[in-house]
Amino acid sequence: MSLREKGAITGVGETAYSRESGRSVLSLQLEASLKAIEDAGLKPTDIDGVIPYASGVVAEDFITNLGLPDLRFSAVTPLGGASCVAAVQCAVAAIAAGICNHVLIPVGRNGASQGRIGMRVQQMPQFRVVGEFEMPLGAIAPAQLYAPMARRHMELYGTTSRQLGEIAVSTRANAMLNGNAVMTKPMTIEDHQASRMISDPFRLFDCSLESDGSCAIVVSGVERARDLRKPPVVVMGVAEGHPDSPSVITQRPDMTRFGLAKAAPRAFEMAGVKHDDIDVAEIYDCFTFVVMCQLEDLGFCKKGEGGPFVESGAIRLGGKLPVNTHGGLLSQAHMVGMNHIAELVRQLRGEAGKAQVRDAEIGLVTGYGDMGDGSVAIMRRG
Amino acid sequence: MSATGTYNKLVPEPTPHSAPYWEGLNRGKLLLQKCGGCGEIRHYPRPMCPSCHSMEVEWVEASGRGVIHSWTITHHAFHPGVRDDLPYTLATVDLEEGVRMLAQLRGVPDDKLRIGLPVRVEFETVKEGLTLPYLVPGEPA
Ligand SMILES: [Zn+2]
């Protein structure tokens, strides 16, 4: 059995994104969840599966607050930033197996106002090995752990900081078209080059935001999805992939290759589409380089050619492959990539407003997490 | 850094599998796990050999010589304990034994950093019971 066309995204919901919500993470997640359920045209009591993000809010909280009488499925997909798209795979699998009908996948955090990243990752079990052997040496935050991947790419392939900057600039331009983005000031390549160095080669504008807010989606069986309020967005192919040496980048044979490189061929094969069929792509962007490397791992360009690819304007709105049309984690908000799924759904429904890619029918969304976990889903307008 | 006074950096919590590695550093030795089944060297320390699944381990002393695989120069204090060290260079190094290590690199100007640059390991006792490795320029092999 394949998961091809077995499930669809039927609802998406987002709170306002900010630097200080002034509310609990649970209340944020409940608000986004209610919006997603409403968007699907469902009642909370229709939800019979939930995949909470590994952040302290648990399935029991949704049963208790949403009043779910008979939750039949719960799981957690602990792949850091690859969790959300991996959760879509998990939800479609549970639905295809007949376990449940409508799975709620919420993410929410007070990432800006509480527990910032350098402190937060020390508590995560996926960072245990790095925590013992690298953090005591001063390699503490993802920016420092990922920077050597970017530096190696630059040394091997001639990739430049300005090329990374193009990703930040393009993403900011898209955020300015979105009514719910934290960063709305225009950015030029010169602004990027003038931003302070965090951990070379990553400048401030190569790094994603820390944000407060919540984003949730509902995944339903493809048959039931047809009867709901909005046109379904059908999951054609979905996969997760784990990199070699998944606990530490230091020991990875090729540190310019993510788990996504393993997942992408599986997802494309399942979906039965080619790269040219993809009209829009929402690519996990915790750092600019992570976008570039994923474009290569997905096969949109060859390994090492990500720099010239983005420099050509390919990822701009109106380009060959518009990327992160909502402003991404770099400029909209850091919602662990659930906002990427929400944006793809809007694009494929034709609800993306000023950032709408004309006639978008098929799109792709990725996740990237921890030390290089990858996930990817290819979806179509239903 | 001093061996006395308050040490406010992150400290490791050794496990039964890694304790010999940390004890080795305290004696000024970089120890690597060598599989008791197939002889493969692995790093960082862990209980099982992924090639033959043996849990027998022998600890061997590394030469301490290697070449730079990649690096980053950190300008931001992600932890209060590193504020006085900024900026510092973290180098990923291919050791002669075929595994990699990561440590701070000292004594190499930023514009001299390159893949393949020879380096060697030194040791520094940063607090009672904790010795950390760092890297300095080495001689070409
Ligand atoms: Zn072995």
Domain boundaries, chain A: 7-114+209-381
**Record: contact A133-B12, CB cut-off 8 A:** yes
ipTM here: 0.96
Please state, in angstroms and rounded to a whole number, the distance separating the CA atoms of residues A325 and A98. Answer: 34
Of B18, B78, B130, the CB nearest to A141: B78
Distance from CA of A133 to the nearest CA of B (A): 7
Q: Chain A residue with minimal CA distance to B10?
A: A136
Q: Residue B96: what are its φ and ψ, rounded to 5°?
A: -55, -30
How far is the centre of ligand 1, averaged over its atoms, from the C-alpha of A252 (Å)? 18
The sign of the dihedral angle between the CA atoms of B109, B115, B119, B122 is positive
Give chain B as a DSSP string: --SSS---S------TTTHHHHHHHHTT--EEEEETTT--EESS--SS-TTT----EEEEE---EEEEEEEEEE-S-SSGGGGGG-SEEEEEEEETTS-EEEEEE-S--GGG--TT-EEEEEEEEEETTEEEEEEEE----
The CATH architecture assigned to A7-114+209-381 reads 3-Layer(aba) Sandwich (3.40)
Q: Chain B residue with minimal CA distance to A137?
A: B103
**Residue B50, exposed/middle/buried by CB under 10 A (0-12, 13-18, 19+)?**
exposed
Of A134, A149, A155, the CB nearest to B102: A134
**Record: contact A138-B13, CB cut-off 8 A:** no
Which active-site residues of A does the annotation give? 84, 334
The residue written with tokens 């976990």 in the block is A373
Q: What is the pLDDT along chain A (382 residues), one digit of tens a residue?
A: 899 999 999 999 999 999 999 999 999 999 999 999 999 999 999 999 999 998 789 999 999 999 999 999 999 999 999 999 999 999 999 999 999 999 999 999 999 998 666 566 767 788 899 999 999 999 999 999 999 999 999 999 999 999 999 999 999 999 999 999 999 999 999 999 999 999 999 999 999 999 999 999 999 999 999 999 999 999 999 999 999 999 999 999 999 999 999 999 999 999 999 999 999 999 999 999 999 999 999 999 999 999 999 999 999 999 999 999 999 999 999 999 999 999 999 999 999 999 999 999 999 999 999 999 999 999 999 9
Q: Residue A308: what are its φ and ψ, rounded to 5°?
A: -60, -35
Output the six-digit token pair for B123: 């040791």
Q: Check if B100 contacts A (Cβ < 8 Å).
A: yes
At B39-90, the pLDDT tens digits run 999 999 999 999 999 999 999 999 999 999 999 999 999 999 999 999 999 9
The residue written with tokens 């987002």 in the block is A14
- At A50 the pLDDT is 98
Are A113 and A212 a contacting pair, CB within 8 Å? Answer: yes
Mean pLDDT of chain B: 95
At A169-204, the pLDDT tens digits run 999 999 999 999 999 999 999 999 999 999 999 999
Please state, in angstroms and rounded to a whole number, the distance separating the CA atoms of residues A315 and A276. Answer: 14
AA identity, residue B138: G
**In order of start, what are the domains of chain B with their CATH numbers?**
15-61 (no CATH), 63-141 (2.40.50.840)
Output the six-digit token pair for A186: 């225009």
